[in-house]
């Protein structure tokens, strides 16, 4: 990506040029196949008018002052996108909502509608998708936590000419093989089974001799978390006795479930989790049980990050929920804008393992982590960018 001259950038900011710098100059030579590159390029195109929190106003449009025409693109209808979710009140998805609000503001669109169910009811979530179809939504993004439960609803939306993407969860895995169960256009989210394999490899590095371990899971069988459990188990092998701890979708009960398991399994070598809520309860559960065995899991809940900083939690794996909101809006916009010439790509939003060594940047409150609603520029760390050698090219 070409670097914008600081003087030019300053002029744009000073003159409050609502159409922003030329997108062609920003993304010349850059594809949209990297989630981070796509987000960085378009966020860079955002102008000084995007200083609000991109909340919807009374008319339903965003309050960021986005131009009627986004960048160099032609004027378009005010496409209304809908996001359906299986845990629509869970704090994990706060940055997802910020992400889609920011993308809509950038493109001059109304903030996407948000709903579904707080407790993973497929029926309620499907009803929400059907409501979006009846309202003639211009695009739908949905989590897909079942291999069969969303098939008809997504098919109906597509038959009605509404583009559908999945995000965060994309069906289920059977014996390590994906059973997607829908004709959605693309998936934006973490490679869930692979993320479990990475978790398993991390556990092996922490507990090289094998032994009993517990893995907390809020809803066994759910397509957004069971693949992680299965992926971890596939890597650990026979040297490890893996026990599933059903922590339930009741976030107030997760800590007690984990503590009870620890008290009843004092020979355990480690305790881990595959979902946001269960992972966020690990530090308190260990303290309650008077244990200091290795632990870790997924996502960047504040208690998880503080546990890593304090040493009671060994690691967490980050899947970037902000991009899971931002990129579907971008992809649906481009699909509609191009007359379906620009088919949305499957996009892996990340498998970053966070430990005490690299946690500093993630401890900064931001919209990207969901801890702050403020729009702000985060200075990235100076010095060398450390990253392991690439092993995939998709």
3-class secondary-structure state, position 122 = helix
Nearby residues of 389 by Cβ (< 8 Å), 6 or more positions away: none
Quick: pLDDT tens for 179-210.
999 999 999 999 999 999 999 999 999 999 99
pLDDT exceeds cutoff 90 at 62 = no
Quick: pLDDT tens for 113-135.
999 999 999 999 999 999 999 99
**pLDDT interval class at 176 (50, 70, 90):** confident
Average pLDDT value for residue range 318-326: 97
**pLDDT interval class at 27 (50, 70, 90):** very low
Contact yes or no for 182/154 (Cβ under 8 A) = yes
User: Residue 273: its pLDDT value, please?
Assistant: 98
What structural domains and CATH numbers belong to the chain? Answer: 6-190+320-363 (3.40.50.2300), 192-318 (3.40.50.2300)
pLDDT exceeds cutoff 70 at 272 = yes
Quick: pLDDT tens for 210-226.
999 999 999 899 888 99
Q: Tell me, what DSSP letter sits at residue 362?
A: G
Average pLDDT value for residue range 72-96: 95
Residue 165, sorted as left (phi over 0), alpha (psi -120 to 50) or beta, turns out to be: beta
Bridge partners, residue 216, by sequence: 245, 273
């Amino acid at each position: 990506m070409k670097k914008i001259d600081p003087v030019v950038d300053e002029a744009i900011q000073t003159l409050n040029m609502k159409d922003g710098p030329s997108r062609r100059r920003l993304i010349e030579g850059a594809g949209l196949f990297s989630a981070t590159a796509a987000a960085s390029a378009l966020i860079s195109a955002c102008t000084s008018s995007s200083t609000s929190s991109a909340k919807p106003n009374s008319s339903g449009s965003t309050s960021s002052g986005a131009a009627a025409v986004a960048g160099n693109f032609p004027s378009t209808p005010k496409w209304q996108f809908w996001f359906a979710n299986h845990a629509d009140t869970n704090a994990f998805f706060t940055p997802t909502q910020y992400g889609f609000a920011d993308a809509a503001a950038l493109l001059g669109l109304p903030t996407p509608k948000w709903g579904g169910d707080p407790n993973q009811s497929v029926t309620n979530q499907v009803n929400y998708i059907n409501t979006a179809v009846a309202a003639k939504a211009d695009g739908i993004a949905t989590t897909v936590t079942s291999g069969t439960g969303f098939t008809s609803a997504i098919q109906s939306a597509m038959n009605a000419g509404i583009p559908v993407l999945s995000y965060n969860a994309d069906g289920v895995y059977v014996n390590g093989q994906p059973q997607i169960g829908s004709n959605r256009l693309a998936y934006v989210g973490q490679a869930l089974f692979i993320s479990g394999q990475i978790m398993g490899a991390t556990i092996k590095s922490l507990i090289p001799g094998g032994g009993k371990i517990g893995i907390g899971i809020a809803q066994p069988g759910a397509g957004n978390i069971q693949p992680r459990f299965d992926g971890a188990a596939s890597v650990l092998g026979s040297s490890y006795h893996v026990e599933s701890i059903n922590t339930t979708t009741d976030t107030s009960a997760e800590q007690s479930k984990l503590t009870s398991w620890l008290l009843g399994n004092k020979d355990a070598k480690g305790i881990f989790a595959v979902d946001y809520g269960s992972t966020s309860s690990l530090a308190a559960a260990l303290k309650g049980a008077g244990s200091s065995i290795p632990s870790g899991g997924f996502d960047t809940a504040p208690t998880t990050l503080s546990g890593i900083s304090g040493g009671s939690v060994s690691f967490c794996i980050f899947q970037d929920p902000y991009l899971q909101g931002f990129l579907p809006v971008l992809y649906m916009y481009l699909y509609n804008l191009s007359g379906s010439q620009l088919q949305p790509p499957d996009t892996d939003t990340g498998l970053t393992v966070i430990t005490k060594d690299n946690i500093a940047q993630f401890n900064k409150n931001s919209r990207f982590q969901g801890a702050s609603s403020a729009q702000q520029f985060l200075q990235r760390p100076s010095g060398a960018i450390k990253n392991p050698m690439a092993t995939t090219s998709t």
